[in-house]
């Protein structure tokens, strides 16, 4: 992607000169050139590293990065940033670990999985949660036509939402009776999408399969076979008939509607209301070596998230135009706008208001809650990615090793002092755990302080001391 334009380069040069040669002189120089507006009087950070490259995947929830770049929030913090789209989540993570990328838009499960050594092993941390909600589950037109006759209808004839996987179960059984596997796509083994799809399927009595140390397909005992497909390839893979459905972020559910090849049956907002989605990930070494830079990045991203949600989403139309550019998401603005501006189209012509489909700042969306980390770890255990039982203390320890609200709150305090944010926007008194949450599709309550008790409530999934042994579940 392009770097900052010539005016941006001038701003950066002047800002660096001001910071390094003396703030007062630098500010005077920048103001004289008309290129820099100083913040309110507050502590100024001197980033240890100011030239940075961040990675992202072409999804609408990378928006805080795009906005921090386009609105010069990075530059305001003395940072000169390049944004680079990545081919897939594995490449993205690997490049952060090797230092080719300084940080990235990440799946919330990636820093956790890497830190506990599932897949690639590395200590990744996050000081910033990028958004809430934003995903959907789409099925092919063929599957939709098989599901539709049995769905409850509203008075106007449209299906009642949310649609549970109970209505998919007869379709899966029909495929099996014909000797055909029922295949669905998700974006990565430790993605929110994988866990949301599994959650929805299991809540409807469809087994999504287990992982084991010797079989990482995730298809042990599976009734629906889930496999990885990169997000931008989801619609084409569905159209080709390789899969019969998928779980992905936007705009790739709405793209299926736009092309007439699939129907989104549920959003993740309806699976788990206001669920955490992506995070911004950096290595623990980066955070330790460049503490001021890490604070500056976090400040810029918080400001971007605030801009995206402020004044009842008044800036979303502009955000859609930015995201539609080829260097960002590169999808039609009309498709991106379907979800980013507070609506969601389930079938062609069946657009319904979902004002919180994409949340970037409201509800303390940017705060990295320990309980969010614990939920992801609980799902890793439920499906066998964490192969053996762990005490509740383990979940808490891993969460605190990866999620860094201390960095976040320090950045937030600086923004409040500078007049860029209100104190009420941040949960200063929290211990990092949300109150127990019950707004799930199956009505089961999640308490992040008691993950093992949480797992005991599920009819499908590992619990207690159970392990996957070959094709069977062993232990009690």
| Equal CATH topology for 6-133+276-344+356-425 and 135-275 | yes
pLDDT at residue 246 in the model? 98
385 vs 400: CA distance, rounded Å: 20
pLDDT at residue 338 in the model? 87
How much of the chain is helix, strand and coil, in % rounded to 5? 45, 20, 35
Output Rg (C-alpha) for the chain, integer angstroms: 23
- How confident is the model over 152-211, as pLDDT tens digits? 999 999 999 999 999 999 999 999 999 999 999 999 999 999 999 999 999 999 999 999
Percent of the chain topping pLDDT 90: 88
The distance from CA 66 to its chain's CA centroid, rounded to whole angstroms, is: 15
- How confident is the model over 387-413, as pLDDT tens digits? 999 999 999 999 999 999 999 999 999
- How confident is the model over 233-248, as pLDDT tens digits? 999 999 999 999 999 9
User: In this model, does residue 472 exceed pLDDT 50?
Assistant: yes
Each domain of the chain, given as residue ranges in start order, spans 6-133+276-344+356-425, 135-275
Confidence of residue 44 (pLDDT cuts 50, 70, 90): confident
pLDDT at residue 19 in the model? 45
pLDDT at residue 16 in the model? 53
Model-level pTM? 0.92
Q: Which of 165, 171, 164, 163 is nearest to 146 (CA)?
A: 171
Percent of the chain topping pLDDT 70: 91
- How confident is the model over 251-284, as pLDDT tens digits? 999 999 999 999 999 999 999 999 999 999 999 9
Class of the CATH-defined domain 6-133+276-344+356-425 = alpha beta
- How confident is the model over 75-125, as pLDDT tens digits? 999 999 999 999 999 999 999 999 999 999 999 999 999 999 998 899 999
DSSP-assigned states of every residue in 265-300:
EEEHHHHBTT-B-EEEEEEHHHHHH-HHHHHHHHHH
User: In this model, does residue 150 exceed pLDDT 70?
Assistant: yes
pLDDT at residue 43 in the model? 63
- CATH fold, domain 135-275, is D-Maltodextrin-Binding Protein; domain 2 (3.40.190)
């Amino acid at each position: 992607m392009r770097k900052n334009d010539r005016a941006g380069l001038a701003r950066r040069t002047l800002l660096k000169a001001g910071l390094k040669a003396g703030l007062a002189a630098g500010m005077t120089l920048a103001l004289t050139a008309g290129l820099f507006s100083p913040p309110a009087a507050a502590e100024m950070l001197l980033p240890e590293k100011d030239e940075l490259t961040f990675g992202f995947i072409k999804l609408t929830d990378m928006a805080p990065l795009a906005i921090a770049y386009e609105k010069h929030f990075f530059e305001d913090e003395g940072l000169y940033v390049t944004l680079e789209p990545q081919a897939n989540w594995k490449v993205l993570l690997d490049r952060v670990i090797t230092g080719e990328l300084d940080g990235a838009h990440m799946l919330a499960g990636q820093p956790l999985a890497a830190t506990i050594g599932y897949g690639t092993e590395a200590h990744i941390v996050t000081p910033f949660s990028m958004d809430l909600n934003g995903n959907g589950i789409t099925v092919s037109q063929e599957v939709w036509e098989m599901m539709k006759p049995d769905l409850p209808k509203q008075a106007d004839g449209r299906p009642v939402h949310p649609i549970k996987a109970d209505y998919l179960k007869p379709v899966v059984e029909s495929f099996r009776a014909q000797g055909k596997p029922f295949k669905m796509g998700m974006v990565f083994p430790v993605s929110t999408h994988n866990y949301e799809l599994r959650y929805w399927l299991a809540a409807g009595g469809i087994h999504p399969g287990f992982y084991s140390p010797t079989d990482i397909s995730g298809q042990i005992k599976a009734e629906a076979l889930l496999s990885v497909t990169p997000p931008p390839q989801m619609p084409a893979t569905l159209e080709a008939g390789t899969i019969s459905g998928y779980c992905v972020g936007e705009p790739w559910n709405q793209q299926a509607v736009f092309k007439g090849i699939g129907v989104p049956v549920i959003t993740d907002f309806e699976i788990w209301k206001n669920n955490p989605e992506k995070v911004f990930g950096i290595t623990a070494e980066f955070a330790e070596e460049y503490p001021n830079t890490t604070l500056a990045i976090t400040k810029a991203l918080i400001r971007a998230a605030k801009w995206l949600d402020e004044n009842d989403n008044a800036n979303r139309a502009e955000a859609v135009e930015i995201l539609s550019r080829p260097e960002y998401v590169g999808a039609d603005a009309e498709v991106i706008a379907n979800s980013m501006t507070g609506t969601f189209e389930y079938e062609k012509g069946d657009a319904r208001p979902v004002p919180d489909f994409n949340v970037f700042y409201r509800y303390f969306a940017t705060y990295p809650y320990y309980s969010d980390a614990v939920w992801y770890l609980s799902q890793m255990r439920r499906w066998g990615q964490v192969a053996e039982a762990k005490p509740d203390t383990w979940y808490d320890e891993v969460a605190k090793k990866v999620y860094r609200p201390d960095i976040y709150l320090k950045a937030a305090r600086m923004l409040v002092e500078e007049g860029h944010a209100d104190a009420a926007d941040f949960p200063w008194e929290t211990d990092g755990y949300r109150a127990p949450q019950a707004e799930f599709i199956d009505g089961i309550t999640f308490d992040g302080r008691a993950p093992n008790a949480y797992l005991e409530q599920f009819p499908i999934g590992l619990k207690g001391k159970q392990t996957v042994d070959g094709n069977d579940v062993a232990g009690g």
